[in-house]
Amino acid sequence: MSTTTQKDFALLPPTAPGGWIGTDEAGKGDYFGPLVVAAVYVHEQSATLLRQAGVRDSKTLSDKRIGELAGEIRRTCPVRVVAIGPERYNSLYAEVKNLNRLLAWAHARAIEDLLGDVACSRVISDQFADERVLQRALQTKGKAVHLEQRHRAEEDVAVAAASIVARSEFVSRLARLGESVGVELAKGAGPPVLESGRRYVAKHGAAALAKVAKLHFRTTQQLR
């Protein structure tokens, strides 16, 4: 059971020497919904509290628990989120034609936004297919930070916190998107997604997939 309390969170300074930023994304492998990147700043005190609260890689947690922890993380730490809705995502992907570059741009944007609030020179992210892509994106934005790209970066508490915030934001936005179009949009890219897609196309037409889905997925051709 967590020993963390609201009072504990309220007493924490937002920044401290030796802090670092973790970034992670959600929605990359989901046909429906946005791509979401979160950046979270932690320091020694807040990192300890997050661990006590049970913060770990979002893939090991239920969506309900993710939602609960995301609220605690936001109360504990400076957080910035970049959410790219399906229509904007499809437009950007058509320009760059490379998911790795699109991801790097979103991570760099989230880091840049957070660095507007905190003084920090250390950033940890998961390993990109080409590790130079994120570094170049940061340099383009004029941000000189020490970037550590790791395999299984979610073992770091800041990256784990970012993975939780990003997943929580993705789940919330996907649910709202489904409500707005009158079709429950399934997560992931498996058979339930195809079924959701068929219901959506029957109601709105295949041309409207761009409003809710990432069109470069093979699922688009299956639905058309």
Residue 60 lies in a domain: yes
Residue 47 lies in a domain: yes
Domain containing 39 equals 17-181
Averaged pLDDT, 143-171: 90
Average pLDDT, the chain: 88
Residue 221 lies in a domain: no
Domain holding 109: CATH number?
A: 3.30.420.10
CA distances from 25 to 63, 106, 132 (A): 15, 9, 18
Residue 214 lies in a domain: no
pLDDT at 6 over 70: no
Provide the number of structural domains found in the chain: 1
Model pTM above 0.95:
no
Comparing CA positions, the residue from 191, 194, 179, 183 lying closest to residue 224 is 194
Residue 201 lies in a domain: no
**pLDDT tens digit string along 65-82?**
999 999 999 999 999 999
Q: Evaluate the CA torsion angle 89, 93, 98, 101 in order and state its sign.
A: negative
Percent of the chain with pLDDT over 90: 65
Per-residue pLDDT, 10: 43
Report phi then psi at 84, rounded to 5. Answer: -110, 105
Report phi then psi at 40, rounded to 5. Answer: -130, 130
Residue 10 lies in a domain: no
